[in-house]
Amino acid sequence: MISEKDLESMGYYDMFPDADPVNWADFYSGWVEKKILTEGQERLFENTLGLVGEAGEVAEKMKKLVRDSSRFTNEEIMNELGDVVFYATALANIYGRGLQELLELNIKKLDDRQKRNKLRGSGDNR
Ligand SMILES: [Mg+2]
């Protein structure tokens, strides 16, 4: 369990002085911003291509599992999924929303689809 002292030493309160100290999504959104190397349109493309590339790395592991029975460790797949979350957060940050709002919107959307029995099918607005 991480302590408030740990959060302070990690710079949490500097990034989000008014944030809930247990809101990891806000902390992570700010942490991602400190790792971004590009700006403007270059950032938009770099982060989008990064997201697709990292999702591709997840897909590649699954492909090799099916094709070659090549196994991967939980740590390996978690590392790639973390890279996907990094770029998804970076993109959410561009639009001023952050990971917390991204997660909330996704939960709301999928809960609504589930209530309407629309989890299956296709289309963004079903
Ligand atoms: Mg990766």
Tell how far the Cα of 80 is from the centroid of ligand 1, in angstroms. Answer: 4
- Domains within the chain, CATH numbers bracketed: 40-111 (1.10.287.1080)
Tell how far the Cα of 31 is from the centroid of ligand 1, in angstroms. Answer: 18
Main-chain dihedrals φ then ψ at residue 5, nearest 5 degrees: -65, -40
Q: What is the mean pLDDT of the chain?
A: 91
User: Which residue type is seen at 118?
Assistant: K
Task: Summarize the confidence of residues 47-56 as an average pLDDT.
Answer: 98
Please enumerate, as own/partner, the contacts of 64-73 that have beta carbons within 8 Å and a separation of 24 or more: none
pLDDT at 1 over 60: no
Q: Where are the alpha helices (DSSP H) in 10-73?
A: 12-15, 24-33, 40-68
- For residue 99, give the H/E element and its range: helix 98-115
Is residue 51 within 8 Å of residue 88, measured between CB atoms?
Answer: yes
Tell how far the Cα of 90 is from the centroid of ligand 1, in angstroms. Answer: 15
Task: Summarize the confidence of residues 74-92 as an average pLDDT.
Answer: 98
pLDDT at 2 over 70: no
What does pTM read for this prediction?
A: 0.81
